[in-house]
Amino acid sequence: MSIDQYLEKELTAVSGAKDKEASQDVVLYGFGRIGRLLARLLIEQTGPNAKLNLRAIVLRPSKGKDDLEKRASLLRRDSVHGAFNGSITIDKENNVIKANGAFIKVIYAKSPSEVDYIEHDIQNALVVDNTGIWSDEEGLGQHLQSKGVAKVLLTAPKKGDIKNIVYGVNHNMILPEDKIVSAASCTTNAITPVLKALNDEFGIRNGHVETIHSYTNDQNLIDNYHPTPRRGRSAPLNMVISTTGAAKAVAKALPELKGLLTGNAIRVPTPNVSMAIMNLNLKKRQIKTV
């Protein structure tokens, strides 16, 4: 690489030039808590040098009126994370949310396969499925039937042979030919880097993971019937013993820990922030000294 090529590459971020080849259209399929937080992060990076450009949000057809205003309002103010840093307006005629100058098309569809993204000038998009409806290759594969979609990212634990990726641990496993990957769960992302560091240094014989987890939308606000009885108790008023698949999911990112960990969760009355406690039996007792 010549000096001129090196300088051009390194100064691209401040020169105003846009690396078009590296730019990726992004579609959020679903717009719940995870979708809105991800939208905020993407919008913050909007600009001529953005590598990820949020182009559209796909929602189920609305039965009520003023759906666009309600979606924009949820993005504008968050009860936990506060106000959006910037301006948000809507364009009803074109079904667009305008956030800090970015035009985000809102598309209504009953299923992934009925969306034609090329019609909306969206090409080779990364679809981020944050609905929680599908978690296997068959269900998520519906996105790949849509025109204009290149790859799919699941923001939840996966089922089947889809790769479970924890960035910083096993992201190098992603290959160009992979069309669908999972970003794993919140707890898996929290504990896997720590487990890798401990296993690399000491070796893990076995262990147990206890997560103290904020309540989620799957629980009831007040005592009421729920298919899982404990989750039927009022989430803001009870500590609820529950299960977690995080201990098993770790093995998808760190195969050497397969079968070595057990785990459970306690849902507690906090709207945000969780904690993981790990009780581990290690193979080595001392830290290496230099």
The ranges assigned to domains in the chain are 10-156, 187-282
Rounded to whole angstroms, the Cα distance separating 174 from 152 reads: 12
pTM of the complete model beyond 0.75: yes
* Cβ burial, residue 272 (10 Å; 0-12/13-18/19+): exposed
Which of the residues are catalytic? 186
| pLDDT higher than 90, residue 39 | yes
Q: Which residue has the higher pLDDT, 13 or 272?
A: 272
Confidence of residue 175 (pLDDT cuts 50, 70, 90): very high
User: pLDDT grade, residue 8 (50/70/90)?
Assistant: confident
Yes or no: say if 31 and 39 are a contact pair by the CB < 8 Å rule.
yes
- Residues pairing with 182 in the sheet: 154, 164
- Yes or no: is domain 187-282 CATH 3.30.465.10? no
Residue 192, strand partner residues: none
CATH class of 10-156: alpha beta
CA atoms within 13 A on the CB side of 205: 7
**Which is nearest to 253 in space by CA: 180, 195, 201, 211?**
195
Are the C-beta atoms of 182 and 163 separated by less than 8 Å?
A: yes
Predicted pLDDT of residue 101: 87
User: What integer pLDDT is reported at residue 254 of this predicted model?
Assistant: 93
pLDDT band at 245 (very low <50, low <70, confident <90, very high): confident
Instruction: Name the percent of the chain lying above pLDDT 70.
Output: 94
